[in-house]
Amino acid sequence: MTTTTLTPATEAAATPARRSVSWLAVAPLLVFVALSFGVPVLAMLNGSLTVKNPATGSTAYTAANFTASLKGAYLTALWGSIKLSAVSAVIATVLGLLLAQAVVTSRFSALREGVLTASGVLANFGGVPLAFAFVATLGNSGVLTRHLGLAGAGWSLYSFWGLTITYLYFLIPLMVLTITPALDGLRSQWREAAQNNGATGTQYWRHVALPVLAPSLLGGFVLLFGSAFAAYATAAAIVGSSVPLVTLQIANAISGNVLVDQQNVALALSIDMIVVAGLVMAVYLPLQRRSSRWLA
């Protein structure tokens, strides 16, 4: 049996060919991404920069739609969505981390499997069914509202905090699914080394575990923020227009519920949402590369 040994020159010559094959292998994915995401974004951008003259029917390129999307009720709705998404994502990140840590450190494998399975189901339970469930439970005439006297204590599901609690129903399970692999990546030797050097449990989490988990936690926060930021059906079914949200404003602009011929302003609002999501992702990606070196 003979073996072939590649010389440095032969290996260097073969490298471009390998790269070409790699690009060919990934080409279908790139084409799919371009068609699924690139073309719609370009169409939205073109529409957001277009204004139609109602008298002549001609169109012109201008930034008037973006100017309108950053003023008045539209700006209020954009900030309302950012605030709601950030608050609900922060709360879900903390509670999801605590729940995932309890599951990871549990001695009962059935508990871990049960929680992860339930999280997978609940993370995808949203929209109108979720809104109906909360209205029947915590609405003005909901079961818990009547039995616990929540209305007398000032509770209202149809408010900012009511919508936040509703979002937590699917955000916390999503965080559990996201952070559990990172918690599994924490090596027991790190805790043992910290204990051998006299560190307490709090000091271990502050100086070892949390710095390593920080990128993963931020990644989970970004995912939760995006899920809450893009949610529409649940908010529309619960609060309607009582809580200003950008997704609801986009729907109103497209359907003409408030003003007619505002479809292009809705496209500008959609681009604003993409920019906000892009800024959040720009913070997350560098930290994710750092985390992968520790948890690999």
Neighbours of 111 (CB within 10 A): 12
Q: Is residue 39 part of a domain?
A: no
Bridge partners, 52 (sequence order): 59
Q: Is residue 25 part of a domain?
A: no
Q: What is the pLDDT of residues 136-171, one digit of tens each?
A: 998 888 888 888 888 888 888 988 999 999 999 999
- If we measure between CA atoms, which residue out of 205, 284, 272, 283 comes closest to residue 245? 272
Q: Is residue 21 part of a domain?
A: no
Given a cut of 80, whether residue 52 has pLDDT beyond it is no
Q: Is residue 19 part of a domain?
A: no
Distances (CA, A) of 213 to 91, 186, 290, 296: 17, 8, 10, 12
The CATH number of whichever domain residue 276 belongs to comes to 1.10.3720.10
Q: Is residue 253 part of a domain?
A: yes
Residue 18's pLDDT is: 63
- Lowest mean pLDDT across 115-119, 216-220, 279-283, 291-295: 291-295
* Over residues 244-263, mean pLDDT: 77
Given a cut of 90, whether residue 84 has pLDDT beyond it is yes
Percent of the chain whose predicted confidence (pLDDT) is above 90 = 12
Q: What is the pLDDT of residues 194-249, one digit of tens each?
A: 888 888 878 888 888 888 888 888 888 888 998 898 888 888 888 877 888 888 88
Q: Is residue 264 part of a domain?
A: yes
- Compute the distance between CA of residue 163 and CA of residue 160 in angstroms, rounded to an integer: 5
- Compute the distance between CA of residue 222 and CA of residue 274 in angstroms, rounded to an integer: 13
Helix axes 72-104, 246-255, angle to 10 degrees: 130
* Domain, as residue range, for 181: 63-295
Number of domains in the chain: 1
pLDDT band per the 50, 70, 90 thresholds, residue 182:
confident
Q: Are 69 and 272 in contact (CB under 8 A)?
A: yes
Q: Is residue 248 part of a domain?
A: yes
Residue 36's pLDDT is: 82
Q: Is residue 54 part of a domain?
A: no
